[in-house]
Structures are given as C-alpha cells and as structure tokens.
C-alpha cells in the first residue's frame, strides 16, 4: 500500500518547552576505544527531559572539520540537581569529529529537549531493553525511569566485541539484570538472541520490549512480540536537518490504522510504537 502524504499532527501539544542555550563543557572523556562521553553544565530550562528525547548540537568549526548543520544526539543522562546533561557518541563523521575537539571549559550551543520520548505504560510491569552500540545511550535514561517506578528490568547489551559493550555498570546501578552479547563471542545474532528472549519471557515474565539503534534487533523484537502479544517502543534513528519538524528531511513511513503514513521522526518521534515501524 502506498504511503499517504506526510501526517503532521501539530494539534497534539508537546508537554515541554524548547530552548537554545550555551552550555559549558564540564568533562569530555573516552569511554572505550570508540566512544566518548560529553558532560555539560546545563541550566534547569533544558533539564525537564524525558527518556528518549534528543538535543540538536551546534558542533564547533575546527581546522579539520566545518560541519554546516546541527547534529541530533540522544540524551545519555540528565541530572536536574547537579545541573548536568550528558551525551555518549562515536566519532563517525564531520560533526562528531568536530565535537571531539571540545575541551573542558569551552562552550557548546544546544537546542532542546526535542521529540517525544519513551512511555512506560501502567500495564508494562517487566520490561526488556535490547540495544547495541550507541543505542545503549538512548536507553540509559529509560533504565533510570524504570528504577524510579520500581519496574524490574532486564537489559541485553550488544556490541562487536566485549570491550565495546557499554552502560552495563550504569544499568546494574539501576537494579537491572544485565546480559551481554558480542559478535566476537558468536551470541549476538538473531538466531542466538531469539531463544534467549523467548526464555526470558517464560522465566521472567517479560511483557514489554524497548530498543534503539539496530534495525536487525527491532525486526527480531517485532516478530517475537507478534508471536507472544508483547508490545513496546523503539527509538528510531534518522538523518535530520532542522530537528523541529519544519524541513521534512526525516520523514519515513509507519503503519497506523491499517495503512502506511509518513511521519517526521524528529517531531512525531523519535520514539514510536514497536509494531508501527516499517
């Protein structure tokens, strides 16, 4: 079925306000051989966030990198009491290459919080988080929210090799049961993960799936969820330009009311119902 024209339900109000602010870099360190963590001192105005939301970062101009557009980046953590906002990222191109040059004490212009975040529905009592690589950054605030709500959490953390698996200590600090898998160990493929998750459904009573960053993992959870009647949510990654719904650059098709509709990932998402994503 062909997709319908872009649906832009702006009549639905966003429960937060968007701000453009200058933040001071507090710390900027390597997490492992590929990923960095950037911690900003941020005003309270941008710290009324939801898990799954993102910010648009104005990456600096350097001798080696001159990024033109802002870069969207998921929130790794936010602390209203300490006035901190942090991001976990991998240097993969011009924008993140420029971002990597920032030193403590320098400033970064950010816009946000943006998008619609995760919702932990009342009937979802035993969630499972499944993510790979930097997708784990997006799910970290969700793990914190599960702990606040007293929801027993299981997290499957995947990466190419064990030394690149991230956020395990953070998830455990929120009381989560953490399971790590890696390509190098031969247990991160769909053929290995499917029986693992099926077993968790039987033994842990898993009743909701949350994921981010990997189309392969998302499709696997859609299949398992359909088989067991389990719903959930996914944070969708998509190239963006404006980040606020004006440019239509992040439009992609979703399944709603039995048909395909085009929605903006930055505005109607980035978090969507697991079974809506085509």
What's the length of the chain?
278
Pick the closest to residue 165 from 122, 139, 209, 132 (CA basis).
132
Q: Is 59 annotated as a binding residue?
A: no
pLDDT digits 0-9 by tens, 101-127: 999 999 999 999 999 999 999 999 999
95 is in an annotated binding site: yes
Name residues whose C-beta falls within 8 Å of residue 130's C-beta, 6 or more positions apart in sequence.
155, 156, 158, 193, 197, 209, 210, 211, 217, 221
Q: Average pLDDT, stretch 8-35?
A: 77
Q: Is residue 212 part of an annotated ligand binding site?
A: no
Whole-number pLDDT of residue 15: 53
CA–CA separation, 147 and 87 (whole Å): 20
For residues 103 and 111, give the distance between their C-alpha atoms in angstroms, rounded to a whole number.
Answer: 20
Tens digit of pLDDT for each residue in 57-97?
A: 999 998 888 888 999 999 999 999 999 999 999 888 899 99
The residue to which tokens 């606040």 are assigned: 148
CATH class of the domain at 127-276: alpha beta
The pLDDT of residue 11 is above 60: no
Residues 125-157 pLDDT 10s: 999 999 887 788 899 999 999 999 999 999 999
- Cα separations (Å) of 129 from 108, 142, 204? 31, 9, 13
> What are the tens digits of pLDDT across the range 194-208?
999 999 999 999 999
Q: Is 49 annotated as a binding residue?
A: no
Instruction: Give percent of the chain with pLDDT exceeding 70.
Output: 94
On whether 242 is known to bind a ligand per the annotation, the reply is yes
Q: Domain 19-114 belongs to what architecture? A: Beta Barrel (2.40)
Q: Say which DSSP state 273 is in.
A: E
For residue 166, pLDDT over 90 is answered with no
Q: Residue ranges per domain, the chain?
A: 19-114, 127-276
Q: Encoding tokens for residue 24?
A: 């001071």
Residue 235's SS3 state is strand
Q: Has 73 been labeled as part of a binding site?
A: yes
23 is in an annotated binding site: no
Torsion (CA) 159, 264, 249, 237 in degrees, nearest 10: 0
């Amino acid at each position: 079925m062909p997709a319908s024209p872009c649906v832009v339900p702006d009549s639905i109000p966003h429960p937060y306000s968007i701000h453009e602010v200058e933040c001071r870099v507090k710390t900027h360190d390597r997490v492992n051989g590929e990923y960095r963590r950037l911690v900003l001192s941020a005003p309270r105005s941008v710290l009324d966030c939801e898990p799954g939301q993102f910010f648009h970062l104005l990456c600096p101009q350097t001798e080696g990198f001159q990024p033109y557009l802002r870069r969207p980046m998921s929130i790794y953590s936010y602390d209203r009491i300490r006035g901190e906002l942090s991001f976990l990222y991998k240097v993969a191109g011009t924008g993140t290459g420029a971002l990597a040059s920032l030193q403590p004490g320098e400033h970064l212009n950010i816009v946000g919080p943006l998008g619609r975040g995760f919702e932990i529905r009342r009937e979802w009592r035993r969630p499972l988080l499944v993510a790979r690589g930097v997708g784990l950054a997006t799910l970290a605030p969700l793990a914190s929210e599960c702990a606040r709500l007293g929801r027993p959490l299981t997290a499957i953390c995947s990466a190419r090799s064990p030394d690149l698996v991230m956020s395990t200590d953070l998830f455990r600090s929120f009381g989560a049961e953490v399971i790590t898998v890696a390509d190098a160990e031969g247990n991160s493929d769909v053929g290995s993960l499917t029986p693992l998750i099926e077993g968790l459904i039987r033994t842990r009573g898993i009743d909701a799936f949350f994921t981010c960053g990997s189309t392969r993992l998302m499709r696997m959870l859609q299949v398992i969820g359909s088989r067991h009647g389990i719903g959930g949510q996914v944070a969708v990654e998509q190239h963006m330009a404006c980040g606020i719904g004006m440019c239509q650059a992040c439009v992609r098709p979703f399944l709603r009311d039995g048909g395909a509709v085009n929605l903006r990932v930055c505005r109607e998402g980035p978090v969507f119902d697991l079974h809506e994503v085509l």
